A and B are shown apart, each in its own frame.
Chain A
Amino acid sequence: MSGTFRKALLGTVFVCALNAGSAWADTIKVGVIAPFSGPFATVGQTFKQAIEVYQAQHGKTVAGNTVEFVYKDLDQANPAQSKALAQELVVKEKVGYLAGFFFTPDALAVAPLIDEANIPCVIFNAATSAITEKSPRYVRTSFTLWQNTVPLAEHVAKQGIRKVATAVSDYGPGIDGETAFKQTFEKAGGKVVDSIRMPLKSTDFAPFMQRIKDSGAEAIYAFLPAGPTTLGFARAFSDTGLKAAGIKFFGPGDITQEPDLPVLGDAAVGITTTFNYSQAHDSDLNRQFLAKHKELFGSSDIVTFTSVGAYDGAHVIYRMVEATGGKSDGAKAVAAVKGMAWESPRGPVRIDPESRHVTQTIYLRVTERKDGKLQNTEVAGFPDQPDYGFKAGK
């Protein structure tokens, strides 16, 4: 008798607990995993600032639910820890969404988790094409190397340049960039005369410059991770006289990202890049975006591609919350944003239904000094660029 009673009581408690789960879930938590300390701390900072700007502009509630962002620090590429943090967010913090991710391996590590928990994962940066193939619950609001490089290679070919040397850091994204450039450029009739893969830890770039010089290239396509290596490369390019010799410097826009420009100095002037966002983008939405940063944080100098990635990511999450009415249903949430189009500070964007990656205008930019400050001036736009790398390996 007492046994049945206990079971009934337990059952009641259990049902109540279940109900509590859905009935009182008016606060929806979003777990953001990104580097907030260490060498890449600026990235986390731009994510957080952009999210706060978005919430300041659009409010913290959507369809009656309060959206709260929870931040977890992952200071370097560390897939095991990424998974552990995600698990903690899902189990302990009960987040309904995962977001952030600067490095590709960290984003890939959570694929089994988001599938099992049926949680959408909005990637603010990690730019390897293959990521969104690994789970149907990934949505990405950044860019890929293919997306930036294909229009660039076509542009270079149209300039009448026939011989190009590629110089990339020897790791995943670098090789993506090299392959994308080579395929597109050779299809357009050009020739890649030398493909140099530089060790990630290079400090001295003089030997690579000598090689570029010896290859007889009219231009180079270069990609290196942002930070000390890019600085060293751009410096070496101008210091060893290649710049003065008239060799043109092309690359994806990560290499001239806004926070690094003051350090690159005049070595950056004249570098031509393609990218999805420039702080100097000419639109009212972008000016409001920057003004809000200035109002909230005193300066908008570090606003860069990771900022718009997070800003648009927050937008996508808000629409997901709206579509699911606050209930946690990853599949439904992702379905709701497929094909969704909106105006972002970077220009018109939309989520491609198949790749779940953002289709956007890629801008051709030249780095120049304006009013004493270096900026990436947009000189042309290539609208509606998809991720050319999606399923490229298949």
Chain B
Amino acid sequence: METLFGIVVDGVAYGMILFIISVGLSVTLGLMRVVNLAHGAFAMVAGYVASYAAQGLGLPYAVGLVAAILFTVLATLPLEKLLYRRIYGSANELAQVLLTIGLTFVIVAGINYLFGPTLKRIPLPDALLGTVAIGPKSIPVHRAFVIAMGAATVLGLWWLLERTDFGIKLRAAVDDPNMAAALGIRTERLYTATFALGTGLAALGGVLGAELLPLEPYYAIRYIVLFLAVVAVGGAGNILGSAAAALALGIVDTAGKYLIPSFGEFFFYAALILILFRWPHGFFQGRAA
């Protein structure tokens, strides 16, 4: 019983980290229909900025986090104007993949050149060190913090997309850009803002997830499959679906590794296949998107 509880707690913690590092991709892929393979690269850039802010400049963790998100968003906005704007729309999938994977290689090489191939870390503040007890099980404070941030992100995004003008206009613009534009919605601005939201979330995930996915130049390529898996299972653009998918995959993976470690990643991918078999468009997405 205690073991079961332990598996669930560890699984939820792992799942929330998966969620927070892939939700940004869910936004760009689902709401903007851009297969952004550079998602991991953006997250990595944010991680390096936070690491540099903390270790090179001696700034506190929170300041580093905010600086990393702002820097990443501001640095990628010109990319949106110059590159991404040309590949919006589901007719451009090949162009999207080629462009974003190319961008990833450029960023990987750039980071490798600037920071070298060794691991970098983002030192945690004292408040996030140590462990907290949840019943008979103790988990690191940092993970509890990530769980809280993940929950806040789910609520925040749900509110933003479902309950605000911005969300209504965005959903309209995604469904029928021409009609939305005819109704006076400034779709270009809307897309820019959503792109910024996506990269901002990528940056948040890159910094918060750095404890689990350590920073090194190949981060951008190494973990992209993980991000895509969560988004595929969750249903692109579906925030609650992404959260549910991340939690399900987290728990299945944790249980599999605990019970039969030598099966490796088997359970993770088996769950992926089964879920997609049953719900081809992801959780909570009954009809074709």
A residues within 8 Å of B by Cβ? 37-42, 170, 196-199, 201-204, 206-208, 210-211, 214, 227-228, 231-232, 235, 239-241, 244, 259-260, 263, 265, 302
Contact = CB atoms under 8 A, between A and B. Distances in A.
Interface string B260-284: 0110110000000000000000000
B34 to A, nearest CB: 26
Interface of B: 3, 6-7, 10, 13-14, 17, 112, 116-121, 123, 131, 138-140, 142-143, 211-214, 216-218, 222-223, 226, 250, 253-255, 257-258, 261-262, 264-265
A259 B116 CA distance: 12
A232 B214 contact: yes
A263 B117 CA distance: 13
Nearest to A198: B261
Given A199-B265, A228-B216, A240-B140, A210 B258 contact: yes
A241 B17 CA distance: 20
A198 B142 CA distance: 23
Sorted nearest first, the 6 A-B pairs with minimum C-beta distance are: A199-B264, A239-B140, A207-B258, A207-B257, A206-B10, A263-B119
B265 A228 contact: no
A302 to B, nearest CB: 8
Contacts of B214: 228, 231-232, 263
B231 to A, nearest CB: 17
B269 to A, nearest CB: 11
A203 B142 CA distance: 16
B131 A207 contact: no
B212 A207 contact: no
Contact of A210 (B10, B120, B140, B213): B10
Nearest to A39: B218
Contacts of B254: 204, 206-207
23 contacts: A39-B117, A41-B116, A41-B117, A42-B116, A197-B261, A199-B261, A199-B265, A203-B213, A203-B223, A204-B212, A204-B253, A206-B14, A206-B254, A207-B7, A211-B258, A228-B213, A228-B222, A232-B212, A241-B131, A263-B119, A263-B121, A265-B121, A265-B123
B131 A206 contact: no
Contact of A204 (B14, B131, B142): B14
Contacts of B226: 203
Given A170-B262, A239-B131, A260 B118 contact: yes
A237 to B, nearest CB: 11
A42 B121 contact: no
Given A227-B119, A231-B214, A240 B258 contact: no
Nearest to B257: A207
A147 B264 CA distance: 28
Contacts of A232: 212, 214
B119 A231 contact: yes
A207 B250 CA distance: 11
Contacts of A202: 257
Nearest to B130: A239
Contacts of B14: 204, 206
A210 B138 CA distance: 10
B10 A207 contact: yes
A223 B71 CA distance: 38
B247 to A, nearest CB: 13
Contact of A263 (B6, B120, B131, B143): B120
A196 B117 contact: no
Nearest to A239: B140
